[in-house]
Amino acid sequence: MLRAAILCLIAASAWGQRFDAAELRVNQSGEERSSVDLTNGVLTMRNVSLRILLAELYLMTPDDIVGPSWLSDVHVDILAKAPSHDASDADLREMAKALLRDRMKMAAHIEPRPRSVLALSIWKGQHKLKSDAPPQRPEDAACRRQSAETGIRFVCQHMSMAEFAHEIPEIAGRYTDQRVVDQTGLDGSWQFSLEWTSFGDLETNGGLTLFAALQSQLGLQLENKKLPVPVVIIDSMERTPAEN
- Domain residue limits, the chain: 2-107, 114-228
Please enumerate in sequence order all residues whose Cβ is within 8 A of that of 38, keeping only pairs 6 or more positions apart, or say none: 8, 9, 44, 92, 138, 139
Between helix 161-171 and helix 2-9 the angle, nearest 10°, is 160
pTM of this structure = 0.71
Q: Dump pLDDT digits (tens) for 90-108.
A: 788 899 999 999 999 999 9
Give the confidence band of 144 by pLDDT, cuts at 50, 70, 90: very high
189 pLDDT above the threshold of 90: yes
Q: Are 119 and 168 in contact (CB under 8 A)?
A: no
Asked if residue 204 has pLDDT above 90, the reply is no
Q: What is the pLDDT of residue 56?
A: 85
d(CA 73, CA 49): 7
Q: Distances in Å between the alpha carbon of 230 and those of 61, 66, 114, 207?
A: 11, 11, 9, 35
Q: Which helix (H) or strand (E) holds 76?
A: strand 75-81
The average confidence (pLDDT) of the chain is: 89
Q: Is the pLDDT of residue 222 over 90?
A: yes
Nearest by Cα to 8 from 166, 214, 117: 166
Q: Which residue has the higher pLDDT, 236 or 9?
A: 236
